[in-house]
Structure 1
């Protein structure tokens, strides 16, 4: 596995070493020891989530706060997405800055997003199946979010606005200017 830290400290792109031949391919998609070594954390993923979405779906921007803050490891099992992480760590020099990367079943890249980040993605293919690991359980009372179309963030989701599909919760989510960092 190859790890590359993004411009947002603690947020890593993970690229597996893929072995291909006439039968197909094989790769290690997860190695706890390597992740702990590179991130210098004692991370322990305890919950896996999976979603299936069609073209134009934008999910996010979501996070958990407090005792239920989550580190995530995101990958795509089928299709292609634009994955977005936004640093909302109160004292971070990159507060409010975002990082985006295309994740797909073809490139097999993953994004490691530490606690203190908003997260979301848009579906760029006809269909996408996304899987991600979390190091804390979901807790409804600890969730927070920002409208993915917040003009302050100016995220290019790579989807024309008229083709975007957002949940009602995301449509009415607060603007980034109203977000209170923890």
Structure 2
């Protein structure tokens, strides 16, 4: 058996870029193949179900990234809530390249992606809310306030990514991260 020419992580990151840039519907197999230097036949060999299976692999990758870079950071009680918040926000800043990259959730949340990936989107969004609610509780906010803050984190980040793209300025994203930090620190 010949070794694969493209590592799985490299493929997933390249596929994520194509889907982020074009949306699920707009990302063609040709675009996906070209992004990583494979032929379409090689894509079908790795992913017999085609684009849907590739998008699922991307969503799984993002889910694992979130667990390692957000959930695990927030759960690390050996660090202060402030340290956990700052690290989580820095990781978010990095994955979205300072607000220059679209969110994969947005890219698959339009039809037909919404129909195909509604369970994954629901799980992912609930993970965001759960993690940031836990962090707010660690800061000493009450249950209801923590839930509201966590929802605002998700809405703020996702919304600011869209606004940053539309207005061609990542300042909206960066300001949102600063506002999230202030919201948690100003108890």
Quick check: TM above 0.5? no
Normalised by the size of structure 1, how large is the TM-score? Answer: 0.27
Normalised by the size of structure 2, how large is the TM-score? Answer: 0.26
| Greater length-normalized contact order (CA 8 Å, ≥ 6 residues apart) | 1
* Bigger proportion of residues as strand: 1
Larger Rg: 2
